[in-house]
Amino acid sequence: MSWVNRQHRAMARWVGSKVDAAVEDLTTDLNDGLVLVKLVNVIAEESGSSEYLLTPIYEKPTIHLQKVENIDDVLKFCRLILNINTCSVSAQNVVEGDLKLILGLIWTLFVYATSTSISVANEGNSIHEIKSILLRWVNQIARSRALPELSNFTKDWSLQAGSRPDLTFGAICDYFLPNALFKYHDLNSGKPLANLDMILLEAEDKLQIPQLMVSEDFNVLVPDEKCIILYLLQWYTFFELTPDVPDSPAIPQEEIKPDNCMSQFMLLCLEASQAKHSYEAKALRLVDQVNTNIMKLSNINEELCSTIVPADLVDSLNGFCSDIKSSNITEQLSSRTQFPQISMFTQFLVDLLRAYEHFTVQLKPTFMHHDFPESQALLKSIAVSLSQTGIPSYQPEKNVALSTIATRLECLNELDNIVSEKVVEILQSLHSSKLANADGLIATLETHLRAHNREPIPPALKKYVDELSQIMDLKQHLDRFHSVLLPKHNAQSLRILVDSLETIDVPITPDTPTSEQTMAFEKFKNIVSQQNNQRNLTHADLTRFVEALAGESISKKDKKAFLLLVPSRRMLNRSESDEFSMYGSDENTSVNEIEESALFDKVQQTMEEKLAGTYNKLYNLAEFVEGLEGGFAI
C-alpha cells in the first residue's frame, strides 16, 4: 500500500471521528462541501477560534457550480476567520477529487486543530511543537517501562526495523489504566503484529480512540510519519485532554466526600480571583495613565511658564489691535508688524490649551469619578467574597494598592491646580487685552473701504485684513477656552459622574457569614493536609481531588477554572530559552523596578505554563493553601 493510500485511510477516519459520520473516500465524500463545513465548524468550536459557524450556501448541492461555491466558502472562512493558509488548494481541486491536494488540506486542518487544542502558540513552528510534545510525552511513559527512547515518527515505529510499537502503545495503556485492557507483561511473550492488532482494537472498542491505523501500517520499513502523528495524537488527546481520564497512576489518599460548603468555598474563591485579576489589570492601567498624564501636565506647565509667558502676547496683541485713527490708515497698518510673533506663539498656546482641555474635561473626571471608584468597588467585591470563606483579606501589591493610586491621583490633582491657575491667568490677561477691539477694528476698516471704494486697496491694508481674520479665529478659540476652562464645574464632568454611578457595580454588603462559612478555609486546609500527596499532583490527580470535593454541585467549567488557580510547575527540565524567559529581573534590577514588574512576571510565568498543556505539569495544593493564607496571593 502506498503512502497516499495510508494517509487517505487515516485522514478519512480522522475526519469521520470529528464529524461523527462515516467517511470512506475523501475524493467523493468532501466534494459537495457539506462534510468540510461540519469539520471546520467542529474545529472552530473546539479551538474557540471563532464566534461564528459556517452555514452551507447550498444545503443540497447537486450541480458542479453549487459544490464549488460551497467549498470556496469553506476555504475563505479558513483563511479570513481562522487564519489557516489554504492557498495551495482550490475549490475546483476538491470537487474534482485531487487526492494529494485534499490530503494536504486535511493535514493543514489537523495541524491547526491540534495546535490550538494543545495550546501551541507559535503557528510557524506548530507541527514541530506538536512532534516535540508527543515525543516528550511518549518517552516519559516509555522510560517508566524501560523501553528505548523514541526520536522520530518513522523507523522507531517500524516492526520491520525491529522496533516495538506494540510495547509503546501497551505501555501507554498500562501507565494510565494498569491491567484494565490487558496485562502489559504478557506482551513481551506475544507476537508484535498480533499484539498491535489486539491493542488497537481494544483502544477503539473500550476507549473509543478512533483506529486511524491498522497493524500492517507499522509492518513496513518506514511507516508514514503523518499517519503516526495523526493517530498518536488521538491517544494523547484521550489521556491528556479529555476530562475525567487519569494521566498517571492513581495516588492513594484519604477518601473525600462531596461537600456543599466546599463547593461554595470554591465558587467564592473563583469570584474573588476573577475580581482580583480585574482589579489588578484596571489598577495597573489606571496608575500608568495617571503617571502619563502627570508627565503631560508637567510638560504643559513648563511650556506655559518658559515659552508662553515670556513671549508677552498681551503686549503684541495690544500693539496689533490698537485703535486705528482716521488719517494715514495705511501708514498705521504698515507699522503693525507683531503678527508673525503672535501667530507662532498663539498657535502653540492653542495646542497646549487643547491638550489641557482634553485632560480636564475628559480624562480627569474619568479617573476620579469612574476608574478609581471602580477599583474601590472591585476591592470591596473581593473582600465580600473572602469574608464568607475565612480566607485572610486580599493585600494588593504596593504598585497597585489603593493607597498608591490615591497618592498618584492626589499628585495629579495638585499639578492640575497649578496648571489651572496658570491657564486662567493667561486667558484672563488675553481676555482683557486689546484683542477685544478686533470687532471694532473690522467695523472701522469696513467704513474706510466703503469711503474709498474707487481707490486701489493698498497692499498693507490687504495684508492687515488677512492677519486680522486669523486674529478673529484666535479670539474665538480663546473665548471658547475661557468659557470651558475657567468654570470650576462643567456639564461634561457631571455627565461622566452620572454615567459612572450607573455603570459601576458596587457589591451589597452581605449578611454576617455563618460560623460554617468562616471556617470553610480551615476545613479546606484540613482536607488538603490529609492528602498523601499535596505538592506533586498530576492534572488527573488534581481533577479527581476537585471532583471528590465538589461532586456535581458546581459546573465542569467552574471546576476547570478552579484547577487553574492552583500553582503548577513543569516536570521536565526547562530549555535554556525557558530559563531566560521565566525570570523577569536580574541581580542589577532596582527594588522599585522589581515592584513595578512583579505582576507582569507572574502573568508571564502563568502564560508560559499554560502553553505547555497538562502533559508535563505538577500541581502544588500546599502552595495554593499558603498563597490563600498570605493575603490571597494566588
446-493: per-residue pLDDT in tens?
888 888 877 888 888 888 889 888 888 888 888 888 888 876 555 555
Quick check: 298 pLDDT over 90? Answer: yes
Class of domain 126-241: mainly alpha
Q: Helices 3-19 and 34-47 sit at what angle, rounded to 10 degrees?
A: 70
d(CA 354, CA 485): 10
DSSP state of 537: B
Percent of the chain with pLDDT over 90: 12
Listed in sequence order, the residues at least 6 apart from 339 whose beta carbon sits closer than 8 Å to its beta carbon are 320, 467, 470, 471
pTM of structure = 0.50
Residue 553 has phi, psi (to 5 degrees) of: -80, -15
d(CA 527, CA 231): 40
pLDDT of residue 248: 43
Q: pLDDT confidence of 594, banded at 50, 70, 90?
A: very low
Listed in sequence order, the residues at least 6 apart from 391 whose beta carbon sits closer than 8 Å to its beta carbon are 269, 272, 521, 628, 629, 632
Question: Per-residue pLDDT tens for 113-140?
Answer: 877 666 543 344 467 888 888 898 998 8
pLDDT of residue 242: 67
Burial class, 261, CB count within 10 angstroms (exposed 0-12 / middle 13-18 / buried 19+): middle
Task: Please give the C-alpha separations between residue 489 and each of 222, 361, 483, 495, in angstroms, as whole numbers.
Answer: 80, 10, 11, 11
Class of domain 3-117: mainly alpha
Q: Is residue 533 within 8 Å of 253, Cβ to Cβ? A: yes
d(CA 101, CA 359): 58
Percent of the chain with pLDDT over 70: 82
pLDDT of residue 586: 39
pLDDT of residue 126: 66
Mean of the per-residue pLDDT values of the chain: 80
Quick check: 297 pLDDT over 90? Answer: yes
Question: Per-residue pLDDT tens for 47-85?
Answer: 777 777 888 888 888 898 988 898 898 898 888 888 888
Burial class, 498, CB count within 10 angstroms (exposed 0-12 / middle 13-18 / buried 19+): exposed
Listed in sequence order, the residues at least 6 apart from 419 whose beta carbon sits closer than 8 Å to its beta carbon are 297, 300, 301, 304, 356
Q: pLDDT confidence of 244, banded at 50, 70, 90?
A: low
Q: Is residue 560 within 8 Å of 612, Cβ to Cβ? A: no
Burial class, 55, CB count within 10 angstroms (exposed 0-12 / middle 13-18 / buried 19+): exposed
Q: List beta partners, residue 619.
A: 537, 568
pLDDT of residue 493: 55
d(CA 613, CA 116): 10
Copy the grid coordinates of residue 594: 522589581
Quick check: 600 pLDDT over 80? Answer: no
Domain ranges of the chain: 3-117, 126-241, 264-328+343-503, 515-629
Q: List beta partners, residue 537.
A: 619
Q: How many residues does the chain have?
A: 634
Measured torsion, CA atoms of residues 179, 182, 186, 187, in degrees rounded to the nearest 10: -120
Question: Per-residue pLDDT tens for 613-623?
Answer: 554 567 888 88
Q: What is the mean pLDDT of residues 286-302?
A: 93
d(CA 537, CA 614): 11
Q: Is residue 241 within 8 Å of 134, Cβ to Cβ? A: no
Question: Per-residue pLDDT tens for 569-584?
Answer: 764 333 333 333 333 3
Listed in sequence order, the residues at least 6 apart from 238 whose beta carbon sits closer than 8 Å to its beta carbon are 207, 208, 209, 245
* Cα-trace Rg, the chain: 37
Measured torsion, CA atoms of residues 458, 464, 466, 467, in degrees rounded to the nearest 10: 160
pLDDT of residue 198: 92
